[in-house]
Amino acid sequence: MHMMRSVGTLTRADLAETLNRKLGLSRAESLDLVEAILAKMCCALSEGENVKISSFGSFVLRDKRERVGRNPKTGIEVPITPRRVMTFRASQKLKDRIGAAV
Amino acid sequence: MIRSELVEALATDNPELRVEEVEQIVDIFFDEIAARLAEGGRVELRGFGTFTTRAREARTGRNPRTGDAVDVPAKRVPYFKPGKEMRERLNTD
């Protein structure tokens, strides 16, 4: 199997740059909007609401019960407190788009 | 929250933008993330989380209806790891 061409990491700044370039919004406004999108999703999730973005995927909350864990170094049993975790389920469209790139 | 509710909330907070513009902004945001993943790259949104892709090897699957063996080719699948801040925020009341 051949190595995939190495591509850099996309960040907030890159997303803002694209909004600036494609829509002509100012750089400051573009960055604010990127931040606002993340804040809205973050806010809904922290209030216990799942976030579903059609043709991209869903961020789904799961409540985990308490369980017994072990410190891998010492072997001592420690309780793992109940917690809420967030998972991402990619939409079929996103899976197809990424899977096709092999 | 669904995509249209996200657009609505952003439009309310940014009255200087038309709703169609906000829709374009949201479309571009998610499309850029998908495009980078499709190119084999990763997307790091500090505080929120990181999107990457993981390799899946080719395997022989079964058609659940007929039981016939089918070859499932190797592929990449999307993967998301929530950021530390996000994980903490989910667990504060």
pLDDT in tens, B3-14: 999 999 999 999
User: Mind listing the pLDDT tens digit for each residue in A58-78?
Assistant: 999 999 999 999 999 999 999
The complex scores an ipTM of 0.91
Residue pair B29/A37 in contact by the 8 Å Cβ criterion: yes
Burial, B29: exposed, middle or buried (Cβ in 10 Å; 0-12, 13-18, 19+)?
buried
Sole residue written with tokens 């043709």: A55
Chain B residues in contact with A36 by the CB 8 A cut-off are 10, 13-14
pLDDT greater than 80 at residue A3: no
Chain B residues in contact with A86 by the CB 8 A cut-off are 49, 82, 86-87, 90
Within 10 Å of residue A21's Cβ, how many Cβ atoms?
A: 11
Chain B residues in contact with A87 by the CB 8 A cut-off are 80
- Residue B52 in contact with partner chain A when CB distance is under 8 A: no
The beta strand positions in chain A, using DSSP E, are 9-10, 51-53, 57-64, 67-70, 77-80, 83-90
* The model's pTM: 0.89
